[in-house]
């Protein structure tokens, strides 16, 4: 690993150079006119805020949260100049100092006693950083203490003022990604130092030598975009697409909720949600407030390259658009629907599709990979669009990176096994660094096919993906090694020392260090973990991988290779979770899966809105029996599809939901009635007659939970 001062070889391999040359063939040096516009914005900013003005710059010219003519420095960096380099995401704390919009209270780092003290320190820090940069002493900028909490802002400002010395990239993670693609080492350099280290090998490539740094920035994202997938949402341009003509002509999509004003004025999503609640309380329905505010805030979260499906009703696609660098914009000149997102439209995708029932009650909603294939008319032979990966897969990947093994835990019906199986395939295909892995998540058929291939193994019998289920009778002999009876040549049985499933995986992985091997353990808490793992409970630890132990039965020296990963699942409604000992808890990462009403958003059965019903049902369950016994969203799926009829819901209610609640509440029908309302008859101690009439059942539950589909 290189140190802070280690020079990076300013050369790339022939393979990398060839990859760059191939990418240049399909790249527009003007980036569709963005290059000229980006440079004009940079010069405009420098003219408005020259470096020499910083020494006595007032905080009012710097901070977010103020409506000033021409905008503040932080506003320019965050919103106006996204075309130059994005630093969106997170909260306004990345700017160190800002004015909180909801109560007009100044926020600044807690080590300072006042706004004046904080601004004096931050301003002096920037002045010092600019002075160091002007002398070419970029590596020393990391030592400017006052700016350590603002790495992205620091990197972007330095690029804007010194464009020949840096690349327009504000994310350290993105810089590291590009360094790795160039075959260069990475380290714990500051974002600025890493940026400089990236520029050197790029300049050494003859085909790139004459490009400006802004062009290099555009090209890097064209050649090796750090995001292997895109986010896809559908957005309705007004009721019955009333504003579609405006959107087509203006190159944007628009939505309502104008009462909250320009979204860029809010320093965080939390501040925005508070304002949204004030303007749109939805009759006190907090779940609805949360969902609708999330819909609107999505416009702030979408990035260049993400996709927008414009729809009319539940079955008409008007176009598919690509989000541009301009992103979100508040268009005050519009009479209404002033929240807009700049989009380049492609109307060739206009078509009628099978109705998507959830679209009837949502303005902005996520589009899955499989739905996108239907919308775009793709066939099974067409390339798969890699749609944004659910955050839980990234959590699993990070936990495995840190620990080597992870357990997915949560109440029943939260998709633990489903997620674990898909995560296993995704990880073995490359995880977050692979577009193909992300594309697999968008195609259920291909996912199942690939899972089968990974589980079947090669002609040698080696399997990259192995799945087992623990239970009370599962033993060390099953898992590691032990003597097993086999038929002998005589009349009896012989005891033969046999390798267990985990030992076989480890031996195969040790012989194939270039590839990962993954063990998926369902119901991991139902087995006697210390007994099953035995002495290996120590050497599965990440820092002890490769450390050999002697197995007591065979006497073999045995080690767990670093390329063996373990994913377990655990149901928290099962009391056996308390059998987990401290040794297991310390050696595994844990990722919790909870009920997710968002995946039910827009889904209705009769008069009942499923997302609101699940939300409020779980509120009552948590009050009575705890969060571990909530009802999972998977209960309302039939295979891969959401149930969509009152009859299907009634069957789930009678055969699955009601028996589970009876168990949780110990057959206490007074408690059941408190949870489920009029569909429980406390006099006869049984469900009421309404349960047998699907439409009436849905109507009664909708009324009891205020979960009407029309809300």
pLDDT tens-digit series, residues 645-667? 999 999 999 999 999 999 999 88
Q: Which residue in 537, 501, 535, 534 sits closest to 519, CA to CA?
A: 501
Band of residue 383 on the pLDDT scale cut at 50, 70, 90 = low
pLDDT over 90 (residue 153): yes
Per-residue pLDDT, 267: 75
pLDDT over 70 (residue 146): yes
Q: Which residue in 390, 450, 378, 380 sits closest to 414, CA to CA?
A: 390
CA distance 493 to 668: 54
CATH code 3.10.590 region(s) in the chain: 232-376
Per the CB < 8 A criterion, the answer to whether 563 and 516 are in contact is yes
CA distance 568 to 522: 6
Tell the burial category of 6 from Cβ atoms under 10 Å away from its Cβ (0-12, 13-18, 19+): exposed
CA distance 616 to 206: 62
Tokens representing 506 are 């480890």
**Mean pLDDT computed over every residue of the chain:** 87
525 vs 92, 469, 500, 528, 539, CA distance in Å?
Answer: 42, 10, 19, 7, 20
CA distance 158 to 583: 48
List all residues 6 or more positions away from 468 whose beta carbon is below 8 Å from its beta carbon: 474, 501, 519, 520, 521, 522
- The arithmetic mean of pLDDT across residues 221-227, rounded, is 86
Per the CB < 8 A criterion, the answer to whether 610 and 641 are in contact is no
Per the CB < 8 A criterion, the answer to whether 550 and 406 are in contact is no
Give the chain's count of helices (H) and strands (E). Answer: 26, 24
Per DSSP bridges, beta strands 316-330 and 339-346 are antiparallel
Band of residue 370 on the pLDDT scale cut at 50, 70, 90 = confident
Q: Which residues pair with 520 in a beta bridge?
A: 467, 567
Tokens representing 409 are 């835990």
Per-residue pLDDT, 6: 40
Fold exhibited by the domain 232-376: ph1033 like fold (3.10.590)
Per-residue pLDDT, 581: 65
List all residues 6 or more positions away from 111 whose beta carbon is below 8 Å from its beta carbon: none
CATH code 3.40.50.300 region(s) in the chain: 391-592
pLDDT over 80 (residue 382): no
Q: What is the pTM of this model?
A: 0.72
pLDDT over 60 (residue 459): no
CATH fit for domain 391-592, picks 2.60.120.620, 3.40.1160.10, 3.40.50.10490, 3.40.50.300: 3.40.50.300
pLDDT digits (tens, 9 = 90+) for 435-445: 788 878 877 78
- The arithmetic mean of pLDDT across residues 211-240, rounded, is 90
- The arithmetic mean of pLDDT across residues 77-94, rounded, is 84
Q: On the CB side of 561, how many CA atoms lie within 13 Å of its CA?
A: 20
CA 480 to chain centre: 36
Tokens representing 391 are 């955050």
pLDDT over 70 (residue 700): yes
pLDDT over 80 (residue 542): yes
Q: Which residue has the higher pLDDT, 233 or 435?
A: 233
pLDDT over 50 (residue 9): no
Per-residue pLDDT, 461: 56
Lowest-pLDDT choice from 142-146, 249-253, 274-278, 640-644: 640-644
Q: Which residue has the higher pLDDT, 224 or 491?
A: 224
Band of residue 290 on the pLDDT scale cut at 50, 70, 90 = confident
Buried b (16+ CB within 10 A) or exposed e, 177-200: bbbebbebebeebbbbbbbbbbbe
pLDDT digits (tens, 9 = 90+) for 581-638: 676 778 889 999 999 888 888 788 888 989 889 989 999 999 998 888 899 999 999 8
As a whole-number percent, the residues of the chain with pLDDT over 70 amount to 93
Q: Computed from CA positions of residues 314, 317, 318, 324, in that sequence, does the dihedral angle turn out positive or negative? A: positive
Per-residue pLDDT, 3: 39
pLDDT over 70 (residue 579): no
Lowest-pLDDT choice from 332-346, 444-458, 506-520, 530-544: 444-458
Band of residue 711 on the pLDDT scale cut at 50, 70, 90 = very low
DSSP labels, 230-295: B-EEEE-SSGGGTTHHHHHHHTEEEE--GGG--GGG-SSHHHHHHHHHHH--GGG-HHHHHHHHHH
List all residues 6 or more positions away from 531 whose beta carbon is below 8 Å from its beta carbon: 475, 476
């Amino acid at each position: 690993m290189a140190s802070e001062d280690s020079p990076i070889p300013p050369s790339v391999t022939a393979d990398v150079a060839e990859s760059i040359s191939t990418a240049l063939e399909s790249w527009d040096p003007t980036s569709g006119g963005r290059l000229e516009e980006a440079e004009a914005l940079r010069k405009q900013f420098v003219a408005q805020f020259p470096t020499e003005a910083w020494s006595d710059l007032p905080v009012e010219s710097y901070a977010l949260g103020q409506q000033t003519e021409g905008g503040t420095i932080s506003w320019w960096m965050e919103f106006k100049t996204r075309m130059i380099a994005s630093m969106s995401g997170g909260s306004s704390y990345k700017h160190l100092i800002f004015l909180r919009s909801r109560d007009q209270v100044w926020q600044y780092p807690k080590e300072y006693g006042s706004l004046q003290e904080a601004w004096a320190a931050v301003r002096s820090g920037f002045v010092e950083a600019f002075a160091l940069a002007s002398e070419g002493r970029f590596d020393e900028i990391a030592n400017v203490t006052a700016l350590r909490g603002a790495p992205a802002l620091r990197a972007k400002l330095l690029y804007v003022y010194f464009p020949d010395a840096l690349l327009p990239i504000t994310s350290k993670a993105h810089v590291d990604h590009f360094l790795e693609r160039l075959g260069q080492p990475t380290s714990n350099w500051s974002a600025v130092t890493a940026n400089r280290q990236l520029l050197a090998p790029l300049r050494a490539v003859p085909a790139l030598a004459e490009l400006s740094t802004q062009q290099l920035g555009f090209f890097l994202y064209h050649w090796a975009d750090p995001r292997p997938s895109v986010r896809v949402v559908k957005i309705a341009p007004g009721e019955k697409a009333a504003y579609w003509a405006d959107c087509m002509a203006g190159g944007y999509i628009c939505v309502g909720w104008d009462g909250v004003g320009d979204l860029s004025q809010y320093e965080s999503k939390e501040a925005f949600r508070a304002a949204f609640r004030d303007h749109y309380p939805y009759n006190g329905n907090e779940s609805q407030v949360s969902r609708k505010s999330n819909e609107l805030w999505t416009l702030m979260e979408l990035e260049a390259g993400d996709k927008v499906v414009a729809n009319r009703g539940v079955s008409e696609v008007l176009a598919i658009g690509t989000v541009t660098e301009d992103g979100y914009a508040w268009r005050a000149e519009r009479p209404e629907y002033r929240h807009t997102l700049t989009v380049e439209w492609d109307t060739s995708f206009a078509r009628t599709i099978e109705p998507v029932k959830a679209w009837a009650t949502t303005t902005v909603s996520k589009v899955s990979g499989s739905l996108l294939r239907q919308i775009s008319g793709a066939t099974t032979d067409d390339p798969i669009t890699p749609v944004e990966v659910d955050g839980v897969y990234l959590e699993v990947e990070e936990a495995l990176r840190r620990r080597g093994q992870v357990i997915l835990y949560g109440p029943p019906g939260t998709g633990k096994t489903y997620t674990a199986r898909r995560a296993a395939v995704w990880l073995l295909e490359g995880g977050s660094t692979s577009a193909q892995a992300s594309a697999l998540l968008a195609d259920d058929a291909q996912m199942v096919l690939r899972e089968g291939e990974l589980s079947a193994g090669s002609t040698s019998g080696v399997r990259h993906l192995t799945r087992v289920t623990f239970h009370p009778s599962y033993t060390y002999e099953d898992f590691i090694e032990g003597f097993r009876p086999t038929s002998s040549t005589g009349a009896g049985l012989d005891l033969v020392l046999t390798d267990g499933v985990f030992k076989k995986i480890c031996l195969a992985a040790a012989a194939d260090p270039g590839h990962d091997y993954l063990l998926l353990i369902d119901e991991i808490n139902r087995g006697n973990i210390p007994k099953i793992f035995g002495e290996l409970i120590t050497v599965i630890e990440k820092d002890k991988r490769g450390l050999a132990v002697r197995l007591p039965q065979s006497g073999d020296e045995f080690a767990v290779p670093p390329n063996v990963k373990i994913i377990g699942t655990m149901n928290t409604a099962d009391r056996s979770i308390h059998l987990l000992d401290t040794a297991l808890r310390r050696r595994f990462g844990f990722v919790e899966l909870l009920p997710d009403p968002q995946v039910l958003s827009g889904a209705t059965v009769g008069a009942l809105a499923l997302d609101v019903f699940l939300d409020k049902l779980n509120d009552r369950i948590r009050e009575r029996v705890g969060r571990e016994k909530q009802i999972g969203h998977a209960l309302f799926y039939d295979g891969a599809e959401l149930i969509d009829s009152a009859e299907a819901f009634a069957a789930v209610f009678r055969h699955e939901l009601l028996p589970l609640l009876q168990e949780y509440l110990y057959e206490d029908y007074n408690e059941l009635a408190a949870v489920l309302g009029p569909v429980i008859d406390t006099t006869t101690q049984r469900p009421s007659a309404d349960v047998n009439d699907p439409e009436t059942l849905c109507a009664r539950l909708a009324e009891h939970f205020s979960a009407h589909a029309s809300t």
